[in-house]
Amino acid sequence: MAAAAVAAGPVFWRRLLGLLPGRPGLAALLGRLSDRLGRNRDRRRRRPPWLLLAPLLSPAVPYVTLPPCCLCPEGVHRFQWIRNLVPEFGVSSSHVRVLSSPAEFFELMKGQIKVAKRRVVMASLYLGTGPLEQELVDCLESTLEKSLQAKFPSDLRVSILLDFTRGSRGRKNSRTMLLPLLQRFPEQVRVSLFHTPNLRGLLRLLIPERFNETIGLQHIKVYLFDNSVVLSGANLSDSYFTNRQDRYVFLQDCPEIADFFTELVDAVGDVSLQLRGDNTVQVVEGMVHPYKGDRAAYCKAAHKRVMDVINSARTRQQTLHTQTFHSNSLLTQEDAAAAGDRRPAPDTWIYPLIQMKPFEIQIDEIVTETLLTEAERGAKVYLTTGYFNLTQAYMDLVLGTRAEYQILLASPEVNGFFGAKGVAGAIPAAYVHIERQFYSEVCSLGQQERVQLQEYWRRGWTFHAKGQFTGTWRPRSPL
């Protein structure tokens, strides 16, 4: 989940925004760009020497409450401290599959929906309205219908979490796409629409429909089928099923992870508006309304609801860890298999990082800054983004540490705004301008060998990945 604040910029940019119909993230981008333009004169000079102290001025690694474990497989890895913030899940790498294409992602989801017996949980920014999205909804309907016709009653439940503003845009939208499921299977289907508490009052009345999502939105992307989970950055829209490259990690038969994300989506759903069969919405009984009720009370309740899930899962996983590796009667893998647990020993460790700034939950921010701060000489850090717009804190850490950085960006041609009409068509150039400013700072510090920027390009495609990538690497040197 991400909350984007609209940054105040010069009058020029405010007038520019007034001419636009609105695009996702446009206000934040232009506001950020105006800030950078205002500081451009100062940045032409070399960075002050204190920049080298950035790692010392940043937050320290959170205190590890337990000593490194010499019994369990992960006893020597350096990321154990993260388990003090979020639950730690150990899985076998044989259960982890990285998908490579949008088509593979789409076909996998349809296949998983068709064989789901107990639960389907889908969290996304929005659901599109084209034929491919309808095909996905039809798969859900068919599976739900089979569950009713089964010889034995099925407890299949479908839970969908979307953003309210994006999912309500236009006459035909995410809500209207899902209404038939709610009307036909009211006891089995839940559709929750998260509404940011920051969009309220006069602001909510004045900001146009295609522009209001810049204030804040629901940005979790997780797709869950029984005990298997797809973690991705892709939305449920046709381009993400065809020619918009993203990353997709498929975790097969990982019940603890599936339980956690089910509980997390349920928690965010409980503090969201509930879609009803007549296309109206209502709050969960006893919950503060996100934009009509008291903001502080709503955020406090939402914080507690989400953190209860995180802390409960963290405690549960720590208990499981102790029973597995520190019990007085440790079972061998053969003993575990004989007892019915045939899962291979874990060699991969997963830490779900949560960021919900309106609720004062900033775990992802803390961990990311800590990892960048602790990056040492000889370490390699790979950063991937479809929109290069690092915060100042992250920029200072990249420039102030000694690790090697490979930063993969979208070339202007694969930016989602490329070729758009009007001023919006200049957005790719704006990102290049930010990239150019950053690279100029890299060069002024003589760090171009340590910090390398590269661009993703693929004819006819766009780029949205933050990790896994395919396509052509292209050096971005002549800035």
Token output for 398: 């990249």
For the domain 375-471, what is the CATH code? 3.30.870.10
Q: 35, 110, 138, 226: which is the annotated catalytic residue?
A: 226
Token output for 223: 């797709």
CA 189 to chain centre: 24
Instruction: Decide if domain 87-325 falls under CATH 3.30.870.10.
Output: yes
Residue-range domain boundaries for the chain:
87-325, 375-471
Predicted pLDDT of residue 14: 40
Same fold, 87-325 and 375-471: yes
Token output for 393: 């804190």
Measuring CA to CA, how many Å separate 384 from each of 74, 389, 455, 469?
27, 11, 10, 9
Predicted pLDDT of residue 65: 46
Predicted pLDDT of residue 149: 87
Token output for 176: 């209207």
User: Is 226 part of the annotated catalytic residue set?
Assistant: yes
pLDDT tens sequence for the chain (479 residues): 443 333 333 333 344 444 444 444 454 445 445 445 444 444 444 445 444 444 444 445 454 444 455 445 545 567 889 999 999 999 999 999 999 999 999 999 999 999 999 999 999 999 999 999 999 999 999 999 999 887 777 789 999 999 999 999 999 999 999 999 999 999 999 999 999 999 999 999 999 887 888 899 999 999 999 999 999 999 999 999 999 999 999 999 999 999 999 999 999 999 999 999 999 999 999 999 999 999 999 999 999 999 999 999 999 999 987 877 666 544 555 555 555 556 788 899 999 999 999 999 999 999 999 988 888 888 899 999 888 888 888 999 999 988 999 999 999 999 877 877 776 788 888 889 999 999 999 999 999 999 999 999 999 999 998 743 323 334 444 33
Token output for 296: 């502080």
Predicted pLDDT of residue 336: 54
What's the alpha-carbon Rg for the chain, to the nearest Å? 23
User: Is 151 part of the annotated catalytic residue set?
Assistant: no
Predicted pLDDT of residue 339: 52
Distance from C-alpha of 187 to C-alpha of 199, rounded to nearest angstrom: 31
Q: 163, 195, 219, 321: which is the annotated catalytic residue?
A: 219
Terminal-to-terminal C-alpha distance of the chain: 33
Q: 163, 195, 221, 396: which is the annotated catalytic residue?
A: 221
